[in-house]
Amino acid sequence: MRKFYVILLVLIANMSFAQNNKSYLDVNYIAVQGEAKIEVQPDEFYLNIIINENQDKKISLKKLEKSMFKILKSLNVDVKDNLICKDYSTNLKTHFFKGSDVKQRKEYQLKLNSEITTNKVIRALKDAKIPTVSIEKVKSSKLEEFKRKARIAAIRNAKLKATDYTSELGVSLGKPLFISESSSYINNPYGRSKYTNARVMSYASAEDEVEVEQLSLNFEKIVVNCKIEVRFKIED
């Protein structure tokens, strides 16, 4: 008898589920996809700076470092909070006639919050014989906020599209029955790219000489893209 009740309860549950599922499928609905794309101006720039001691020109690592700190200070860069030393190494070389010497190398990461300052720093370091400077990464401090705005805009576009369809068909748009984020991605051209991937604008002289008069980097914007699928009930 107990086994009979268990089987009966299972059958009732299955019938209830089937009825609910059937009622959902019987609802007339319209499925649309809304998409939104937001371009974000980056406000965090990370430079990778490598300083190599130049034994041939008798320029010590200490002198190059002093020159770098002087440049950053003149450009009002907060060295204490935004500059870190990532790596330090020494390389002992032995020469038959010259004897032994030690070549030192340091690698820094510098965080900047302005595209203009970033360009100034790169140019100034290049002029100071510190040419090994690369763009390690570029970010936006408000990326999560822009991702949220993209999702909201995508939902609004989906509703607008569904309203256009139902209005043309002479029916009314009802409440949403299903919402799904079909895709969401961030296109950051400088996520892992180096300085060579940045666009460099060079202005040569009238005689088309090789030397560069001005160096400027134009950073592409970060693109936040979101696609939302929404199914709305169609009212009679």
Q: Determine how many CB atoms are found less than 10 A away from the CB of residue 58.
A: 8
pLDDT of the residue at 103 = 74
Q: What is the mean pLDDT of residues 177-182?
A: 90
The tokens of 74 are what?
Answer: 């003149």
Instruction: Tell me what pLDDT residue 71 has.
Output: 94
What is the pLDDT at residue 199? Answer: 35
pLDDT value of position 54: 66
pLDDT recorded at residue 13: 46
More confident residue, 95 or 152: 152
Q: Which domains does the chain have, with CATH numbers?
A: 28-41+142-235 (3.30.110.170), 44-139 (3.30.70.120)
Contact 50, 126 (CB under 8 A): no
Q: How far, CA to CA in Å, does 201 sit from each of 136, 196, 208?
A: 19, 12, 14
Assessment of whether the complete model's pTM goes beyond 0.95: no
Segment 211-225 shows an average pLDDT of 70
Region 77-102: mean pLDDT is: 69
123: three-class secondary structure by DSSP: helix
Confidence of residue 86 (pLDDT cuts 50, 70, 90): confident
Residues 101-122: tens digit of each pLDDT: 557 888 999 999 999 999 999 9
Closest CA to 91 of 83, 81, 101: 101
Chain-wide mean pLDDT for the chain? Answer: 77
> How many separate helices (H) and strands (E) can be counted in the chain?
5, 9
* pLDDT for 201 beyond 80: no
Mean pLDDT of all residues in 80-89? 87
Taking residues 190-207, what's their average pLDDT?
40
Closest alpha carbon to 149 in 220, 224, 230: 224
Overall average pLDDT of the 182-190 stretch: 79
Whole-number Å distance between alpha carbons of 49 and 61: 13
